[in-house]
A and B are shown apart, each in its own frame.
Chain A
């Protein structure tokens, strides 16, 4: 790998981070907009940049969209006083928001966004930063670091509400990681059928869904996984660590200014990664419909919809649409249901999801073995 390669990689990484950050910022706006639709309000509609209203005809309309709200929010976080209470452990206190934020951005590097056929060579290409063989394992490993942010902030704040939030978070996230991982295993048993090169790469998973999406063949695993993702991202109805109305703000009670902003955006970054993984593992990644891939459409219509730049844009667009739908789903659920109690969350995790995930794994392992025997 020479210097140019490294620079290109660096540039691509930067682009992905900027895109993901933008998605995070705008999912904050989406959260506010969707919640206001659900609640019969208008939502943010006052932010605008100077002179935008002077554009003829559409100017007034543009100023009413509230699309600049994330900029205003970010600016507010930047310019607020950054209070570090006297009683905190400064090192961990400052470290925690960073840890909350970084893993989400790291995991995005192994998420494939789409695939197309290179027009010149005819080879299949994947839109991905690093197509590492351990894909899903890396995502789980790095994403599970996120819990340290909550524990550290709860501990370093040296205050009772963050402490309770931190204790709840550590228990909850560790419990749900088990069911989440177990729910994913049958997918990979299926993908890694004997005779194929063993891989944990997410690209392979999507390729294996050209016909049957895994949500159709393994609905139980999909449901368990989605529930576990809700718990892992601390979204309602599993927002125990935060529990706005009983722990005030939970682990981030003592945070202000941009440190709070890091937690805030980190939550949405985690949501984005979670939505990506759900779409990749169970909902066919960049395939537009079950049993239909862009390659099929190209074959039927004769148009080059899977080749070159057009193919890349269509594939990434399909994937982005699915991710946005799941982000919407996250938001939709949050504004619809009340919160579980902490021990109910644990009970659901250990007595509900985990046995289901284990049973699902065993049944699918036997089923896949039988299928292969029948096939052989």
Chain B
């Protein structure tokens, strides 16, 4: 056996976050069986500690131990570190909110947290994968865990429906990705992204460039589904609405960011020389995604469904940054994904809180008069919504600003104009929620509105602080995003 087939210590250190998460997840499932019915309270905190440990390991690996791992199947560069840290933060806050949620639903079990950890493993692998089969495996680890999370409360019909829709459509879309991978392997004889990049750039190596473009299209189907880009967005509203609120929170921030990471890496490192062929597709998809998301959100009365359409629209903005095909564009996408994660964590924390037991109150009207009962919560929700609109002094403003600046730098004037018009439309449905909270008379449901549980409070405050800090000093994150935006071509 050649020496380079034996993993080195550096390999293990670079993938330590994944190792910690896998070990902790497996331990949680064992503990769940051993502890029995009574002592289930401890499982959430253990998961939280594991995520924090993984965060530390990912941070250290990104600080002074960058480089390829396991024969270049994974690569821990600044880009990977950015997304690993991001999904772990999202995971930590989701666990915090889930603890409060499942305590209320009286369904606090260890396997839930184990599944969150496994999904995070998949997302971390996605962020650092440098090989197409790793991409597929990472995507499936992340997705299969999320399918179960969506249907976690087995007796709830909405959960079931969400899970089966996500499962069937998700597996269907992933097969297209895999078929593209198979053909790329057939044409180039490799699945490593950097080698593919070299071969695709060499006109003598590939005699049928249009076939490579067709494979890109097949892979685009898989990625577009995962980031809920049009025309493959139709699953998002149903799945987000039906899943338990903290799971929706997790799904809309973590797996989506990881999917964008792998989207960027595959199309930049592997197929940047074909940019002229795939850029128009991304252009059209970005525009359609923004239009579908924003206009469908206008008429929604269910707040989870509204936020689902809003998350489609936000995926459209990130696609604008990808269509720019520049390092500034990548940096803008990274900044946007991070700031969007905080807005979403905050907004869904509040939805988690106010849905109450069995998620009975999930309509926009149920928030009527919130400002009188709980002025602080209403104010925090307003911050999140203003940031989702993109009002200055919030991180959402700078996120949009950098994206459209990158688009203008790449001469995508029409896309910029249409995108800006879209964000004006979006202001309507976010402002409607604020109007309901502040100017509508409280209904009966407001009387029983409970004060936020500790985990949810922490999430709300942390997200609000991040949004405002990044809205005033965007440079803090933008510098990291700019350093991380380098991807080898």
A, B: real partners: no
A contact set with B: CB distance below 8 Å = none
